[in-house]
């Protein structure tokens, strides 16, 4: 029995590690394709890109782990079924459920590790990832002088380069416009060609210009004419130096500014944030009640008194105010409308605040439940993958990949719909976060039963024979 367990564990661990690395690589490539325009051409050091990729990989674990469990379980039991090893196990008197027991223990351990990762490591990874990604996207491009564009990357200057050589260093038809207010913005430099390079310390960008002219307009001797003097300098070669110390080095934002997001919190912090939002809602409701009570008029009149009955009978068939003149009725209606508008304006902004706090409560409950759904998803997808592999009896990366991707897409789509419904207030956080697991778990139980009873649910020959018999029967009835 122990040898069989060891065989199953060896058959599972290797595909699990391979599929996990493959899925992580695919998700990392998707990340690079999504943010490639925000990362390329900004002069980052190589370790900044590596650090961002490491943090992105850590945030992808919550998607890669369930998919790897599903795919590796299908591959493991599919390979055992394809090589008739499951038949040998069953012939030894070991049922499929007993053969799945050691694997279920391993998946349970993975689920516990996934919960620990989700509660302790994932918030830190999210904080590092989103703060670094934000700073990287805010960083200005290192391509300071694009072709045919008036670039304002350098403070006090606007520069246009008409054309550049493929090496990116040789420039043609250069225009430099100075924006110094003290000189009244009247300095323009034109050059036919030039070279661009950085100083060894990387703090300055130097333009070595050739064959150009510099125009400068200055004040005249009279105060009433500010454009009386024009100076023109022709040069064969000159240099312009621009400070890029603030552009080449990425500025980091304080990570404490991102800690208020729910993705950066553990269970205790999420729980505290939810209680804080609930206390603010209760406080707002109490304040709103006190504000409204000033507009409410109370009258001490018995409901069964003669005056009350007479007034009720008088207005039952008439919507107007009885025993009052027209201008008095209009005055009363205008006063009531004014008070109603005052209450509406008073509560409008406060109502929006309560609505936003209610959304925060729902999001907090959703994030709280998602800490547990990652672990439950690993077990639920294993209950689908293991019997499904035993049924289809195919190993490798062919049919198991197709089947696992289909089931994972179903699971992911249902999860996404449930989360969106929770954020919109259409479902409770518990139901919305667990709806996908609630749906796929019975499917896993059904597949386990079919696999234990040697079902031929995925045997195409059975369906061919069924349809052949059906068509022959119809032909016989027609003839």
| pLDDT score of 249 more than 70 | no
Mean pLDDT of 465-472: 68
23/64 Cα distance (integer angstroms): 6
Query: pLDDT of 412-422, one tens digit each?
Result: 888 888 888 88
Question: Which range (124-138, 292-306, 463-477) has the least confidence?
Answer: 292-306
* Residues 6 or more apart in contact with residue 179 via CB below 8 angstroms: 156, 157, 158, 185
Question: Which range (5-14, 25-34, 69-78, 247-256) has the least confidence?
Answer: 247-256
Q: Which residue has the tokens 């006063």?
A: 335
Helices marked H in 40-141: 46-59, 61-82, 85-91, 96-116, 122-138
Cα separation values, 140 from 66, 166, 195, Å: 38, 22, 22
Q: What is the pLDDT of residue 141?
A: 53
Query: pLDDT of 380-411, one tens digit each?
Result: 888 888 777 777 766 666 666 777 778 888 88
| pLDDT score of 21 more than 70 | yes
Q: Of the candidates 189, 185, 191, 188, which has an alpha carbon nearest to the alpha carbon of residue 173?
A: 191
Q: Give the model's confidence band at 143: pLDDT under 50 very low, under 70 low, under 90 confident, else very high.
A: low
Instruction: Assess contact for 52 and 151: CB atoms under 8 A.
Output: no
Question: Which range (14-23, 76-85, 153-162, 277-286) has the least confidence?
Answer: 76-85
265/254 Cα distance (integer angstroms): 17
Instruction: Assess contact for 361 and 421: CB atoms under 8 A.
Output: no
Instruction: Express as a percent the part of the chain with pLDDT over 90.
Output: 0
Higher pLDDT, 58 or 339: 58
Query: pLDDT of 196-214, one tens digit each?
Result: 877 777 677 888 888 888 8
Strand order in the sheet with 204-218: 150-151, 157-164, 170-178, 187-198, 204-218, 229-243
| pLDDT score of 60 more than 80 | yes
State the chain's mean pLDDT as an integer: 77
Q: What is the pLDDT of residue 379?
A: 87
Instruction: Assess contact for 45 and 133: CB atoms under 8 A.
Output: no
* Residues 6 or more apart in contact with residue 92 via CB below 8 angstroms: 4
Instruction: Assess contact for 452 and 97: CB atoms under 8 A.
Output: yes
Mean pLDDT of 54-59: 88
479/475 Cα distance (integer angstroms): 6
* Residues 6 or more apart in contact with residue 162 via CB below 8 angstroms: 147, 148, 172, 173, 174
Name the CA radius of gyration of the chain, rounded: 37
| pLDDT score of 172 more than 80 | yes
Query: pLDDT of 409-449, one tens digit each?
Result: 888 888 888 888 888 888 888 888 888 888 888 888 887 77
Name the token pair of 161. Answer: 């380069």
Backbone φ/ψ region at 338: left (φ over 0), alpha (ψ -120 to 50), beta: alpha
Cα separation values, 120 from 114, 126, 129, 275, 455, Å: 10, 11, 15, 21, 43
| pLDDT score of 355 more than 70 | yes
Q: Give the model's confidence band at 142: pLDDT under 50 very low, under 70 low, under 90 confident, else very high.
A: low
Question: Which range (33-37, 60-64, 82-86, 335-339) has the least confidence?
Answer: 82-86
Mean pLDDT of 51-69: 87
Instruction: Assess contact for 32 and 102: CB atoms under 8 A.
Output: no
Q: What is the pLDDT of residue 385?
A: 81
448 class by beta-carbon count within 10 Å (0-12 exposed, 13-18 middle, 19+ buried): buried
State the distance between the two ends of the chain, measured CA to CA, in whole angstroms: 59
């Amino acid at each position: 029995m122990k040898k069989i367990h060891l065989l199953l564990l060896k058959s599972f661990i290797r595909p699990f590690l391979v599929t996990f690395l493959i899925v992580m690589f695919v998700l990392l490539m998707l990340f690079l394709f999504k943010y490639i325009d925000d990362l390329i051409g900004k002069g980052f050091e190589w370790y900044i890109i590596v650090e961002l990729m490491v943090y992105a990989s850590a945030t992808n674990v919550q998607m890669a782990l369930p998919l790897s469990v599903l795919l590796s379980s299908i591959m493991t039991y599919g390979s055992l079924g394809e090589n008739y090893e499951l038949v040998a196990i069953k012939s030894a008197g070991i049922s499929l459920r007993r053969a799945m027991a050691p694997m279920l223990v391993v998946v349970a351990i993975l689920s516990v590790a996934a919960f620990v990762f989700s509660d302790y490591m994932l918030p830190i990874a999210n904080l590092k990832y989103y703060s670094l990604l934000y700073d990287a996207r805010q960083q200005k491009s290192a391509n300071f002088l694009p072709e045919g564009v008036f670039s304002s990357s350098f403070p006090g200057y606007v520069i246009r380069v008409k054309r550049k050589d493929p090496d990116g260093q040789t420039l043609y038809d250069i225009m430099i416009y100075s924006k110094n207010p003290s000189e009244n913005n009247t300095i323009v430099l034109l050059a036919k060609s030039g070279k661009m390079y950085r100083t060894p310390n990387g703090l300055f960008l130097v333009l070595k210009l050739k064959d150009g002219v510099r125009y400068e307009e200055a004040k005249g001797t009279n105060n009433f004419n500010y454009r009386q003097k024009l100076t023109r300098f022709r040069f064969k070669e000159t240099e312009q130096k621009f400070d890029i110390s603030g552009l080449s080095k990425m500025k980091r934002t304080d990570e404490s500014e991102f800690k208020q997001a729910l993705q950066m919190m553990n269970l205790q912090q999420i729980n505290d944030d939810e209680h804080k939002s609930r206390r603010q809602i209760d406080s707002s409701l109490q304040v709103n009640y006190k504000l409204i009570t000033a507009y409410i008029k109370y009258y001490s009149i018995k409901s069964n008194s003669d005056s009350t009955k007479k007034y009720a009978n008088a207005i039952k068939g008439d919507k107007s105010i009885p025993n009052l003149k027209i201008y008095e009725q209009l005055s009363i209606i205008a006063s009531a409308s004014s008070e109603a508008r005052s209450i509406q304006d008073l509560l409008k902004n406060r109502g929006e605040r309560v609505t936003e706090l209610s959304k925060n409560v729902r999001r907090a409950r959703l994030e709280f439940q998602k800490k547990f759904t990652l672990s439950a998803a690993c077990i639920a997808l294993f209950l689908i993958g293991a019997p499904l592999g035993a049924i289809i009896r195919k190993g490798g990366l062919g049919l198991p990949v197709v089947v696992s991707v289909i089931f994972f897409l179903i699971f992911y789509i249902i999860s996404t719909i449930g989360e969106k419904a929770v954020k919109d207030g259409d479902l409770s956080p518990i139901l919305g976060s667990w709806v996908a697991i609630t749906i796929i778990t019975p499917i896993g139980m059904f597949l386990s039963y079919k696999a234990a009873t040697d079902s031929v649910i995925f045997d195409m020959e059975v369906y061919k024979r069924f349809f052949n018999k059906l068509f022959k029967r119809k032909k016989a009835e027609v003839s």
